[in-house]
Structure 1
């Protein structure tokens, strides 16, 4: 069964071309992808993640609010008892913010220009089930 990935656009950012490209790349790589559309509230993203039983929530953020939105999403997932769902974030992210995002609980960060192959590889690593020893 393929891993389920939620691709979400939190906040008021209305530009979703990149999110759609990412969703298609993940789908083409064999993942089951749920795309929320634009202008989603964090609470709704978490609710959808729980309902759809996803392994990863991917946030696409171009508005500059990536640190706050990532932290709020991670916190909301933990509060809902779903802290095991990995959160990844991509978009217009300065290199100087990558460490802050990882410290906030993001499992991976993909600034503008990240190759789709790199993103797919990272999501595959996050969702692989380790074989028992």
Structure 2
């Protein structure tokens, strides 16, 4: 049995910027908890630096960024840059969820985001993606 199988996957579900719509973040946090992951929720209106600090301090395996404000092209790169500064980018599976235009998804992936999940993505698909791709430590 690998360490990943014995240790719970630690996830931070984060709401970045002025986006106050958090229902999706709550749904995914609950689904991750129900899947056996350890979940930390950032709360609303967090700055990119606050999210980076929480991810590093909590030593998370997965950072799920929930964003519906349309500011994903500005805020997500700031988070990715912050993770790089702490040498945490390679050890953190970064996911983005929200209403992200198709033409922006490739740019987010180029920044280091592992996957972008939009409306209609099944909970099972998201949980399975995390199980298959969370870094082993």
TM-score (norm 1): 0.92
Q: Displacement of 1:56 after TM fit?
A: 1.1
CA contact (8 A) 1:93 1:112 kept: no
Q: Which residue of 2 aligns with 1:113?
A: 120
Equivalent residue, structure 1, for 2:3? none
Q: Deviations 1:38-75 (Å, cap 9, x if unpaired)? A: 10011111111111110111100000011222111111
Query: Which residues of structure 1 form unaligned runs of 5+?
Result: none
Larger mean CA deviation between 8-17 and 65-74 belongs to 65-74
Q: State the aligned residue count.
A: 130
Large movers: runs of 4+ above 3 Å? none
Partner residue of 2:104 out of 97, 101, 104? 97
Matched residue, 1:31: 37
Q: Distance in 1 between matches of 2:51 and 2:136?
A: 24
| Alpha carbons 1:67, 1:104 under 8 Å: kept | no
Q: Which secondary structure does the structure 1 equivalent of 2:64 belong to? A: strand
Aligned to 2:57: 51
1:75 and 2:81 aligned? yes
Give yes or no for contact 1:19–1:60 (8 Å, CA) kept in 2: yes
User: Over aligned residue pairs, what C-alpha RMSD do you find?
Assistant: 1.4
Distance 1:118 1:126 in 2: 12
Counterpart CA distance in 2 for 1:97 and 1:17 is 23
